Structure 1
Amino acid sequence: MSDATPTTLPAWLAHQARQRPTGIALRHKRLGVWQVRNWAQVQAEVLALAGALRAAGFGPGAQLAILSRPRPEALFAALAAQWLGGTAAPFDPLEEAAGQATALRQAGADFVFAEGLEEILRVRQSDLAPTWLAYADGRGLVDPQVRAGALDYGRLLAAEAEYGAPPVRAEDIAFAFYRQRVAGVEQQSFSHAELLQEGERLVRGERLSEREDALAARAFAASGQARYLLAPWLLAGFRLNFPERLETRDQDRRELGPSLVLGTRETYGRLHELVRQRLPLPGSLRRRLVDWALEPDGGALRSLLGQPLVRRPLRDVLGFSRTRVALLVGAPLDEETRRFFTGLGIEVRNWPAAERWHPVRGRDVTGWPSGQPQLA
């Protein structure tokens, strides 16, 4: 690979693996312990998956549907598909099953990566017959009919890795997103060039570096995650952290203390409500102290006393003890939530969602609206 500036997500992965092979790329909490992978290990795993996909006939223009909660294997599967010039299509397994089944059928899910038993059952119940189906977590997969034809992630890593330059181009579609609406299934897609442009804008604007720690606590089935978390991770080379599971995300955030937080209006609203449930009753002396300390325009005395007595403990409760950059994608915060975080000394900055949904007609698997040119 040349020393020219990388122009695709897989090329940036290769760049980071070459520049800092032993640097920590990501961590994933499992059974209460943070498991670590460096950049060289991430690239090796992605290449192994790419080899398995290529052997199954996946290539430029193909699409990999990913039905998983946030976990490293899902991210590696997306990068493997992109390494081969294909598209990753993430689906959130927490969405309503019937509508998602329609979206999966419209997407033409011939290649599917599923998290585990529940997600494989969704695929089976959607009347899909993918030519390639792999899973990350085999717990509970005892029914031969459910497991039939499904490939274990661990065995995929035995595939021979190819270390050549990825054939993907900057204009190729990196991610396609689908959603079910009353009028039918809609889609939006983003090229490597678009994602890297948005990611670079964020890296420069927020002065992100390899020293950041970010928590991937939401499913990647949203364009904001691709633009403002995955692309900056590859560009800046910081550490990406995955919680053990959705139910432990708040505990894992408190333990980790990420410097970079990315969320939606619902994310910050939920955290605000979490703190409100723990506050003293309104009208009590302790509550008046909290309200006094959280007043955004408090002056020197509030700043001096409020930090150790109120703001620092509350930031610890939220897992924002080290947070330097708090990002919001989509709808803005309500005024009460905004004032709460401002009172904690956390400026939540809104980044545009840039949504551009269009109806899916037939099996529009390339990411282009009907009538536009298809990928080679």
Structure 2
Amino acid sequence: MTQLDRAETGQGSAGLRDTGSGTWRARIRRTIRVGSRPGPWKRGPVLAALALLLGLLMLLHTKITDYGGLGSLVETFLPWFGLFVPVLLAGALRRRSASAVVALLLPVTVWLSLFGGLLRDKSRPGGDLIVASHNVGADNPDPTGTARDLAASGADVLALEEITPQAKPLYEQGLAKTYPYHTVQGTVGLWSKVPLSDSGPVDIKQDAGPLGDTKPDAVKMTYNRALRTTVATEQGSLAVYVAHLGSVRVLPGTGFWTDSRDRNAKALAEAVAAEPNERVVLLGDLNGTMDDRAFDDLTSQLHSAQDEAGDGFGFSYPAKFPVARIDQILLRGVEPTSSWVLPATGSDHLPVAARISW
């Protein structure tokens, strides 16, 4: 090949030098890039910070301000914050961030300390009485079917909330054969296989309603949302409260509105504190979880059957896709041996039940 041919094909000495020079420059650039890339402990600082914030939020949830109901809202859905852990873990693994993975130990530890005990079945054999509670729903399209299902549940004592005047005779008729004793006070009622006594309404400071405080006693009873009665069991008398606390709402400009519910909870706690019977069961739709600070006055006196003898979280609302347990069975002076959620009825709540022992 002549010198001219080599020049035309780019294979001269200058071309070879240019090619070698370009290769070395490329190697140097790659070395610089590798050398400047942060190590695994410096990658993903944002992910690490988010993991720490998640852990601190769950750890210090009681310190969150309740302005606009923010604290109550966080505590209502507190168990679900654990879902952020696998999301952050996936991001940490993608970024190969050792610092983010280590930071995730905080939320994992906090979540397990708060809710890890609910992941195992704590039920045990035995028990003297089965109690159940169900918000039957004012819009329930099938009260008769709901009564039939509840009568077959095996409960000895059955509390119902949100009983409308139209549905009341249907529940009374459907439950009469199984439960010869019952009391209905306003929108709440209790059906029992054993005798009841001293039944009456409990003033939980519900909203006055459109008629205000001047409405007649008969009309007041229509809006009554709590009762107290004594159940005569073979083991002794048991004070039973049934309550349906005020609803919560997410309102524009107001936030998580819980005023009515919180006022009801405080009044109910005062009634329980004044109860002379050592053995007490509270059944009802409390429109909140027991992690919510609004129930501190109640949980300081009563313990949850689901927390002590349940299997899982026992979510009860909404029935189609339960995300929170707002239907509660709380106890004092008796012990739960098991707690569970019953199958769905025509209501938007699921019934809850517990077996208790003296």
> Which TM-score bucket, shorter chain as reference?
under 0.3
The TM-score normalised by the length of structure 2 is: 0.24
Q: TM-score, normalised by structure 1?
A: 0.23
Q: Which has the larger radius of gyration?
A: 2
